Chain A
Amino acid sequence: MTIEVKNLVKQFGSFKALDGVDLKVDSGELLALLGPSGSGKTTLLRIVAGLDWPDAGEVLINGEDALAQGARERHVGFVFQHYALFRHMSVFENVAFGLRVQPRAVRKDEATIRRRVKELLDLVQLDWLADRYPSQLSGGQRQRIALARALAIEPRILLLDEPFGALDAKVRKELRRWLRSLHHEINVTSIFVTHDQEEALEVANRVVVMDKGRIEQIGSPDDVYETPATAFVHGFIGESIELPVRVEGGVVRLGDRPLNLAADGLVSGASRLFVRRHDMLVGPPGSGAFEGAVRHVRNFGPVQRAEVALSGGETIEIDAPRGRELRAGDTIGLEPRRYRIFTG
């Protein structure tokens, strides 16, 4: 099943939640919508699900106009951040719900429903919880039940809204891996919304980065990490050093100091320089584009994170490999191995 979204616009009062969004999701993809809160990612997901309606634009599911149908007809599995399980029903009945409310003509008989629910509970590895109530489950178990419930209707597409947002860090990590392998197993076209870049990069085949109701970049996890298309993406994904610079006649200046950095093809004017923390190579004083004094150092496993005051006064944090130990008070030279300069 493919999903196609064309020029979607949605406004809540004076707030533009979606500002002309175009997106194509291929069959069998696991796509992440990544962005800060208020970026419109949940609104986009809800519109695809039929839980919200756009002010303008088109949504096509498998080439058919989805906006002509309500949530009920779209046959879309939706998983909510806060599970939205039915509290008065057992786990079994929660999963069976979608099968029990089918129109009489296509409804399965009781034995088939039981078998199907059993299969789904096996799939999410929680068959032993069938008789419990949602309130007796942990957060991670609830979310897996919510997923089993959504899968019961054999949805054409699966939509997950911050599925791990309400869980603690350890459970999140487990469920991420589990979701990826589950997707591999059932291979249904899926979109999930997250504000957690690690989650998006680890789980998805493709990542859509959104900000302020617009798509900033669409690409594989490697693409968005290695070659961010915009300043926003560079700043949002991965830990970056951001410095305000000016480009004048092919020379990059930080404050009034020219930096020894190539500026080919850059438009003159105020710009921003982005470097990943671990792409700053440490050398002897005077050896790189920057020079600075180490303020203090903390060790994080394989890296040492140093706060460095540049000679112009800016303070940055770098991640240097262990081995050549940095000490507070050292004067060092810094050379960006890779960097990006964005105008504006």
Chain B
Amino acid sequence: MPGFGLTMGLTLTWLSVIILIPLAGLFLKSLELSPEQFWNILSSRRTLNALRVSFGLAFAAACVNLVMGSIIVWALVRYRFPGRRIFDAIVDVPFALPTAVAGVALTALFAEKGWLGAPLAALGIKVAFTPVGIFVAMIFIGIPFVVRTVQPVLQDLDPEIEEAAGSLGASRWQTIIRVILPSLAPALLTGLALAFARAVGEYGSVIFIAGNLPNVSEIAPLLIVIRLSEFRYADATAIAVVMLVVSFVIIFAVNRLQRWAQNRIPAR
């Protein structure tokens, strides 16, 4: 293959400089801790709770985005309605908006006196300054990942296969479950993984709405920043290393799943 040496060399160099070397630094820094210290930091109640909040809520938010994102994609791709292009553009807003702006906007909206916060408070639901707020912010920033990954695949999906399924006697529901979703599965899984990864790493928008109560609504990235500001660098890197490893394992697993789904549909 011509160009293999060149492109492979560039790929490895670039990935090393941009990703691998900084991450290696992270691991090196955490080596300053003895295994016992490392374990103590990780098993402290505050760290465990922060990790639980971050990963748990990120996964829940990614699942919500998967469902809602799929519905939005379906509407955008399959139907023609006035304002479709505008809605299509709005999907990208969470990509572009500075996350701090998003955080402030969501906080104002869901605060007890806010437009949405007030009616919810009347129902006894508190969003701002609780884990629910974190969940909302994570949904907000994750939605474009699902939409943009699934959209091109759905556009490529020939509507004729739905007609074929229908004429073979499949109900609408059977067509969705047996024909459409399996065809979209690889893209849906990629979208899920991306939305999840984004939500785990999200900092800017979450800290405004979270309330940041230790053990309740404190996310792991914030805990890292707090440790840094206390000059406890090793503590910070220890938490960072754990986040890195867990994220990597989860994304790798989703990737394998996606690969498996993809292989069931050999390339055309």
Contact = CB atoms under 8 A, between A and B. Distances in A.
Given A78-B163, A84-B158, A97-B178, A153 B266 contact: no
Interface in B160-203: 160-161, 163-171, 174, 178-179, 182-183, 185
Given A84-B160, A135-B266, A149 B182 contact: no
Interface stretch (A69-77, A188-196, A263-271, A298-306): A69-77
A75 B165 CA distance: 12
A76 B160 CA distance: 15
Contacts of A136: 266
Nearest to A102: B169
A247 B121 CA distance: 90
B267 interface: yes
B168 A98 contact: yes
Interface residues of B, number: 23
B183 A82 contact: no
Interface string A74-90: 11111010101111110
B163 A72 contact: no
A213 interface: no
Contacts of B264: 88, 133
A226 B115 CA distance: 79
B153 to A, nearest CB: 11
Given A78-B163, A88-B183, A72 B265 contact: no
Contact of A51 (B167, B169, B171, B183): B167
B4 to A, nearest CB: 26
B268 interface: yes
Interface string A112-145: 0000000000000000000001011000000000
Contact of A97 (B163, B165, B171, B268): B165
B100 to A, nearest CB: 42
B167 A76 contact: yes
Contact of B182 (A80, A85, A88, A153): A88
Contacts of B167: 49-51, 71-72, 74, 76-78, 150
A72 B169 contact: yes
A101 interface: yes
Contacts, number: 78
B160 A80 contact: yes
B163 A133 contact: no
Contacts of A70: 166
Interface of B is mostly: helix
B168 A97 contact: yes
Contacts of B169: 72, 75, 98, 101-102, 153
A50 B171 CA distance: 14
Contact of B171 (A72, A88, A98, A135): A72
Given A82-B160, A150-B168, A135 B267 contact: yes
B178 A101 contact: yes
A101 B160 contact: no
A72 B164 CA distance: 10
Contacts of B178: 97, 100-101
A97 B264 CA distance: 16
A76 B166 CA distance: 10
Contacts of B268: 87, 135
Interface string B205-222: 000000000000000000
A89 B265 CA distance: 8
A49 B185 CA distance: 30
Interface string B252-268: 00000000000011111
Contacts of A72: 166-167, 169-171
B161 A71 contact: no
A299 B166 CA distance: 51
B170 A97 contact: yes
Contact of A149 (B158, B166, B168, B265): B168
Interface in B124-174: 158, 160-161, 163-171, 174
A323 B76 CA distance: 67
Contacts of B266: 133, 135-136
Contact of B265 (A100, A102, A133): A133
A97 B168 CA distance: 7
Contacts of B265: 87-88, 133, 135
A100 B266 CA distance: 23
Instruction: Name the residue in B169, B182, B183, B264 with the highest tally of chain A Cβ atoms < 10 Å from its Cβ.
Output: B169
10 contacts: A49-B167, A72-B170, A78-B167, A80-B164, A84-B158, A86-B161, A101-B165, A101-B174, A133-B266, A135-B268
Interface of A: 49-51, 70-72, 74-78, 80, 82, 84-89, 97-98, 100-102, 133, 135-136, 149-150, 152-153
Given A98-B168, A101-B174, A152-B168, 4 more contacts: A72-B169, A88-B183, A100-B178, A153-B168
